Every structure is written in C-alpha cells, then in structure tokens.
Structure 1
Amino acid sequence: MTTQPRIALIGECMIELQHRADGSLHQSFGGDTLNAAVYLRRELGDLGSVDYVTALGDDSFSDAMCAQWQAEGLGLGRVQRLPGRLPGLYCIQTDANGERKFLYWRNEAAVRDCFTTAAAEPILAALPGYDVVYFSGITLAVLGVVGRERLLQTLVETRRRGGKVVFDNNYRPRLWADVATAREAYRRVLAEVDIALLTEDDERGLFGYEDSEQVFAAYPSIAEVVLKRGADACLIRCAGERFAVPALKVETVVDTTAAGDSFSAAYLASRLKGGSPAEAALAGHRLASRVIQVPGALIPR
C-alpha cells in the first residue's frame, strides 16, 4: 500500500432523526459507509485521502450534508447532485438497553441512480485508480440491479490494477426483494473482496451459517476475514492464522448505532498505517466502545 493511500467509500447518507425520551426529534445525518468514511478520516489523520461516492439532491439537506462532510475532511469530487431529488430519511428509536429500531423513508432517494446517470461515467472510470475501494451490503441493496453490475465491474478493475477491495456485509432484509436475490448479489461481490468485515449475526441472517466455523469456511479465497460479534471477541483469519481479539467492556451502553461502522473504520485505518490485524482489531474495539456511549452515529470530534 502507498504511504498516502487514496480511499473511496461508496454508499448512502441519509437524514437521521433521533427519537428522544421526551418525544422530541434531533436531526443529524448518518449512513453506514458515511459513518465509516468520517471515522476513517479521523483515524487516518493526514496519512491519506478519503472520498465519499454517492448521489444527493439539490435541496438544503443535501447542501448541509456536503458542508458537514467537507468540515470532516472528506473529498466531495465523487458526489453527484441530482436536480429535483432528495436524500433518504430514517428515524432511530432506542430502548432502555441502548438497542435501536430503525424506521426508513428511502424509496425515492437519489443514491438509487448513483451509477446510472451520465455524470456517473467519469466517477466509475476513476474508482479503479484508488488504492482502496470500500462498500457495504447496504450499498449493494440501494444501488439496484444495474448499479450492482457496474459496481462489480469496478471491483474487478480495481483489483486488476492492484487496489484493495474492502466489504462490510451489513445485511438489511427489508432492502431486498427476497433473500435469494441478496445471496446472489453478495456471493458475486465477495468473490472480488480482499478484506471482509463481517458481522456474525448478518451472516447468520443472510446465509444461515450456524457458527463462525461455517462463516470462515464459506470464504476460503478472501485474504483477510474479520468476524465482528458485538460485545464478544472478534475473530480474524489472515495469512493462514486464526485468532481472537477480545472486545472492551463498557459499563453503560447508550446507543449502538455505528458500532460496527466505527470498528471497521478504525480497523482499516490501523491496517493502512501498518498495524497488524490484532492491533487493528484492538483499535476497532477501542473506537466502537466510545461510539456506543454517545447518542447517534457520529460522536463529536
């Protein structure tokens, strides 16, 4: 990897509403790959560039998103602004244990046309030139059939040129027409992945794997597999070795939103800076443990 890696994260950011205990709503922005992009930018510091790849509308919320991303140091050169369109919206409701429920309004979100517009052509042509291309299962779902095909072509070309492909599985059943469609899409892209950041519960929900052994056995060709298991130790297979890295204990969990995204970001940042997989996992646990003690997806800098 270069000493100043160029990283592109592909996905969707939405308007986030946090439902407070007093019935009020706090508005911010969030989305799995956007959360990862922000935390990756913070963790990397000046040791690389992070661009976000998405499509937004031409509305005031989209303006505010771009302003926030710019303030976080993200590159906006791959963000499309589609006239008359809007971003998606979601509401987070959390229970007494910090577990969350999401309500979504995203069917008409601009990101669904991210890879189908004329403006997408130069973006798609540029992506294989990045050192790292990062996306998630949610990216797969919201891009649609045509977008997924174009993404797959991009991943193949990225690896052909020597770039690395990083995938966070984030499986959300409601975003897919059926489980068979989701399985096919996942299997096709997983064949082009170098680092797989997998949540065990999502693997169980999508493929029916019963334990970590089945998950690892399913991906013999992926060089680096990280299995996230919430408060339990994460499991890693890399360079022929298997090992566990315990999570950090947190006394009070406020909100688990973006726990996995922040782990993935800190893990990748550490690896890009030369850290071992074990060191990277510890960095991931460290950041995630801070994130879950604060409401919302993005904690203050």
Structure 2
Amino acid sequence: MPHLVTFGEIMMRLAPPNHERLAQAPALAVTYGGGEANVGAALAQLGLPAAHAGCFPDNPLGRAAAGHFRRYGVDMRPCVFSETGRLGLYFLEVGASLRPSRIVYDRAESAFARLDPAAFDWPTILDGARWLHWTGITPAISAAAARACAAAIAEARRRGLTVSADVNYRRNLWQYGQKAQDVMPPLVAGCDLVVCTEGDAEDLFGIRPAAGAPNGFASVAGQLIARFPQIKQVIATRRDTQSASHERICGLLFQDGQYYETVPYDIAPVVDRIGGGDAFLAGFIYGATAYADDPARALAFATAAAALKHTIPGDVNLVTAAEVEHLVAGNTTGRLLR
C-alpha cells in the first residue's frame, strides 16, 4: 500500500539538448513530469511507496507518460485513461550563465483538464495510504479538476491522512472563470502542511508580513496557520539566483511557533532546476516520517534533496536516502565514490 498518494497532471517535456534554443534545435529530448507525480517518484527513490492519480489520453502518448513514472516505482493504477483530450506538453529551453531558462506551455484541452471527477474512487485510491499531496496547479486547470481535488481532500480528512499542498500560484493558468482567491482557501483549509512563499501568501490570501516583523516568512507562516488552523507546518525554499547556472538555496520551516532555517547550498553548475521544489517536498515528507521528533533534521534532509535535484537532468529527483544523508553530513566536494 502507498505511503503517499498524489493527484495532478503529468505532461510531456520537450527540450533542446546542450543548452540550445528552440529556434536552432534539430531534435528535442523527451521526458515527462508533473509537480505532484514528481514528488511521488522522488519519494519512491527514497524508499517510501507512492501512487499517483491522474488522467491521460488513451493513446500511446498517454501510456508512455504513465509508464515513465511506473518505471520509477510509482503505482499508476489509480490513473484514468480517457477517450477525450490530449496529453499536455511543455517546451523547456535550459538557460546558461546570464540567459535564464524558459518554458512554453501547450496544455489546453488536455485529458486531465477534461477529466470526470466521478471517475476517481477516492475511498479505494486512499485505502491504506498515510499521506495525500496536491498542488495549486491542479485546481487551476479546470473546474472539474478542482472538484476532484476537493473530493480527494475531503476523503483524506475523513480517513485521518496527512494532507499537503504546494500552493504554487500560477496566475496564467486560472482561465476557466473562477478565481484562485475563491477556490484555494477552502482546499488549503484541509491541509496539515503547505509549501507557501511570501509572494504566494500575498497573492492568494492577502497575507503580508506584519509591519516591523524581523522575519517575513515566519510572520506570514504564523498568519497562515492562524487563518487555517488545520495547518501545522509551513515550508519553503529561499533562492538566491546568481545566474541560470548558479543557485544558492536554503530551507525554511515554521512549526509550533518556531522558525527553522538550514545552511545554504551553493550549486554550480546547475544541471536542471525543474523539479527542485518537488524534490524538497518529497525530502520533507521522508524526513517527517524518518525523523518525526526532529523538524530541523527533516528540513535539512529536504533541502539537501532539493540541492541534489539541481544536478540531475529531468523532472524527477533520482537520489537515494543514503545519498541525501551523505550531503547532509557535509560531504559537498563531489569526490569520486568507489
């Protein structure tokens, strides 16, 4: 049975090799990714079983996307294959030095956007699970996806599961006539853990750091917990982007009125930053399970996992728990391991 169940859209990723631009690329490398499924796949690599619920077109592209995550140990049996809709795509130009990476989305009328909420039997899907994860991208895609997400959260609450969300506000996705500021609060109210930056807190909930607050994140997180009492933990990463090839990241956590911050990791060169936030959350879920009484250690594990993701091509963080612990222990030289 899965430790974690995720719910969300999976898309095909198409990227020119060798930092080329789309205009000059003779070929595109194919992989697959989705914010929620990336978390499940990363957790499976760490040794905790995961399942994913989603909707794919019933064609070779949909089956290839599902097979990609099955390959990394994710149970895809909760997924639905539809006769309508298409597989969403995104095109990634991987930046270098002063040129930032760029993404172009082509996801309109996807099978996931057109899903039937009644197609998901949440009592069966969540049977035996301990955790449900979703992101703010899912309810942004369509009203049907938002209803399915709400049903999943309600069933998870009835069963006493831990529910997490990366609120991940994408302004341009909310195109179906409902506002994120109306849809997201009732969904977030059912969460125990949220990934939420100061910017997302302001955009979605109108929450800003209190005047004169010495720590903006702690101030916002405290207000978020006060508004949504089910929330016990708020986490985020802080990025100091030096260039497309050089990142500094640290992890932040607010829990039980206490603020935690990790040491920063200096990452250069960045191989692929896509999925870094998903790796962070997967690492925190693992850490919260393995080190339930030590939130600082759980956060350190999560941040190290996110740092390692920046060194791996593709959306999924293909690292083991031992490799993450090796980095947490201070082994940052990249010395050859034999």
Match of 2:71 in 1: 71
RMSD over aligned Cα atoms: 2.4
Letter in 2 for 1:157: E
Asked whether the 8 Å contact 2:117–2:147 carries over to 1, the reply is: no
CA shift at 1:194, angstroms? 0.4
Residue 256 of structure 1 aligns to a residue whose secondary structure is coil
Q: Distance in 1 between matches of 2:188 and 2:95?
A: 34
Aligned to 1:41: 44
- Say if 1:16 and 1:91, in contact at 8 Å, map to a contact too: yes
Q: Report how far residue 112 of structure 1 moved.
A: 1.5
Matched, 1:193 2:191: yes
Larger Rg: 2
Number of residue pairs aligned between Structure 1 and Structure 2? 291
Amino acid at match of 2:103: F
What's the secondary structure of 1:229's corresponding residue?
A: strand
Q: Is the 8 A contact 1:52 1:76 kept in 2?
A: yes
SS at match of 1:154: helix
Contact 1:167–1:197 (Cα < 8 Å) also in 2: yes
Specify which of 6, 20, 33 is matched with residue 30 of structure 1: 33
Separation of aligned partners in 1, 2:169 and 2:52: 21
CA distance in structure 2 between the aligned counterparts of 1:299 and 1:234, rounded to whole angstroms: 17
Establish whether residue 17 from structure 1 lines up as the match of residue 14 from structure 2: yes
- Structure 1 stretch displaced more, 52-61 or 63-72: 63-72
Q: CA deviation at 1:253?
A: 1.9
Counterparts of residues 232-243 of structure 1 (less than 5 Å): 232-243=249-260
Matching residue of 2:335 = none
Out of 177, 198, 216, the position equivalent to 2:222 is: 216
Normalised by the length of structure 2, the TM-score is: 0.78
Q: Secondary structure at the match of 1:70?
A: helix
What is the CA-CA distance between 1:58 and the residue it aligns to?
1.4
Instruction: Specify the code of the residue in structure 2 equivalent to 1:285.
Output: T
Q: What residue in structure 2 maps to residue 125 of structure 1? A: 123
Secondary structure, counterpart of 2:196 in structure 1: strand
Distance 1:204 1:19 in 2: 35
Q: Would the aligned equivalents of 1:56 and 1:110 in 2 still touch at CA under 8 Å?
A: yes
Give the stretch that moved more between structures: 250-259 or 31-40. 250-259
C-alpha displacement of 1:292: 1.2
CA distance in 2, matches of 1:151, 1:256: 27
Following TM superposition, by how much is the alpha carbon of 1:180 offset from its aligned partner in structure 2, in angstroms? 7.4
**1:127 CA drift (Å):** 4.3
Aligned pairs (5 A) from 1:83-122: 83-97=83-97, 99-117=100-118, 119-120=119-120
- 26-35 vs 123-132, which moves further: 123-132
Q: Which moved more, 1:22-31 or 1:225-234?
A: 225-234
Q: Is the 8 A contact 1:127 1:158 kept in 2?
A: no
In 1: Cα distance, 2:266 partner to 2:80 partner: 41
Query: 2:138 is matched with which residue?
Result: 139
Task: Please give the alpha-carbon distance, in whole angstroms, between the structure 2 residues aligned to 1:56 and 1:49.
Answer: 22
Superposed displacement of residue 156, structure 1: 2.8
Distance 2:151 2:286 in 1: 25
CA distance in 1, matches of 2:251, 2:177: 26
In 2, distance between residues paired with 1:291 and 1:146?
32
Where 1:296 maps in the other structure, the secondary structure is coil
Report the CA distance shift for 1:114/1:246 in structure 2 as closer, same or farther (over 3 A): farther
1:219-238 deviation digits (Å, cap 9, x = unpaired): 32211111322235332122
Shift of 1:42: 0.7
Query: Residues 150 and 272 (structure 1 numbering): CA distance in 2 closer, same or farther, change over 3 Å?
Result: same
Partner of 2:299: 281
| Structure 1 residues 114 and 51: alpha-carbon distance in aligned structure 2, compared to 1, 3 A threshold | farther
Q: What is the Cα deviation at residue 7 of structure 1? A: 1.6
1:77-127 Cα deviation digits (max 9, x unpaired) = 21101124321000112322474321111111111233435x32xx23334
How many percent identity over aligned positions?
A: 23
The secondary structure found in structure 2 opposite 1:246 is coil
Matches within 5 A, 1:253-264: 253-264=270-281
Structure 2: stretches of 5+ with no match in the other structure: 210-215, 240-247, 320-338
Tell whether the 8 Å contact from 1:133 to 1:166 is kept in structure 2 after alignment.
yes
- 8 Å contact kept, 1:99–1:256: no
Q: Is the 8 A contact 1:9 1:134 kept in 2?
A: yes
CA distance in 1, matches of 2:314, 2:2: 29
Q: Kindly state the Cα deviation for residue 182 of structure 1 after the two structures are TM-superposed.
A: 0.7
